[in-house]
Protein backbone atom coordinates (compact mmCIF):
# COMPACT_ATOMS: atom_id res chain seq x y z
CA UNK A 1 0.00 0.00 0.00
CA UNK A 2 1.51 3.25 -1.14
CA UNK A 3 -0.46 5.27 1.41
CA UNK A 4 1.37 3.58 4.26
CA UNK A 5 4.55 5.31 3.09
CA UNK A 6 2.93 8.71 3.59
CA UNK A 7 4.38 10.68 6.49
CA UNK A 8 2.20 12.17 9.23
CA UNK A 9 2.55 15.94 8.69
CA UNK A 10 1.54 17.21 12.16
CA UNK A 11 0.89 16.40 15.80
CA UNK A 12 2.47 13.99 18.20
CA UNK A 13 3.42 11.62 15.37
CA UNK A 14 4.77 14.25 12.96
CA UNK A 15 7.38 12.66 10.70
CA UNK A 16 6.18 9.10 11.35
CA UNK A 17 4.96 6.85 8.50
CA UNK A 18 1.19 6.37 8.65
CA UNK A 19 1.62 2.63 9.01
CA UNK A 20 3.53 3.27 12.25
CA UNK A 21 1.02 5.73 13.73
CA UNK A 22 -1.31 4.04 16.25
CA UNK A 23 -4.56 3.05 14.57
CA UNK A 24 -6.63 4.65 17.31
CA UNK A 25 -5.01 8.02 16.63
CA UNK A 26 -5.67 7.79 12.89
CA UNK A 27 -9.25 6.63 13.26
CA UNK A 28 -9.91 9.38 15.82
CA UNK A 29 -8.61 12.05 13.45
CA UNK A 30 -10.62 10.60 10.58
CA UNK A 31 -13.86 10.07 12.52
CA UNK A 32 -13.74 13.57 14.01
CA UNK A 33 -12.97 15.17 10.63
CA UNK A 34 -9.69 16.61 11.82
CA UNK A 35 -7.88 15.80 8.57
CA UNK A 36 -8.56 16.53 4.94
CA UNK A 37 -7.10 16.30 1.45
CA UNK A 38 -4.50 13.68 0.62
CA UNK A 39 -4.00 12.75 4.27
CA UNK A 40 -7.71 12.00 4.68
CA UNK A 41 -7.70 9.90 1.51
CA UNK A 42 -4.63 7.98 2.65
CA UNK A 43 -6.08 7.30 6.10
CA UNK A 44 -9.40 6.22 4.55
CA UNK A 45 -7.51 3.75 2.36
CA UNK A 46 -5.58 2.20 5.23
CA UNK A 47 -8.24 2.15 7.97
CA UNK A 48 -9.59 -1.27 6.85
CA UNK A 49 -6.00 -2.57 6.89
CA UNK A 50 -5.39 -1.10 10.36
CA UNK A 51 -8.61 -2.56 11.76
CA UNK A 52 -7.43 -6.06 10.76
CA UNK A 53 -4.25 -5.74 12.87
pLDDT at 47: 76
pTM of the model: 0.74
DSSP assignment of the chain equals -GGGGPBP-SSTTTTSBGGGS-HHHHHHHHHTT---HHHHHHHHHHHHHHHH-
In whole angstroms, give the CA distance from residue 44 to residue 32. Answer: 13
pLDDT at 1: 46
Q: What is the pLDDT of residues 4-50, one digit of tens each?
A: 588 999 999 999 998 899 988 998 998 898 899 999 998 888 877 66
Amino acid sequence: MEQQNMIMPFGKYKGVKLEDVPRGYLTYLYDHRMINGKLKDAVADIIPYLRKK
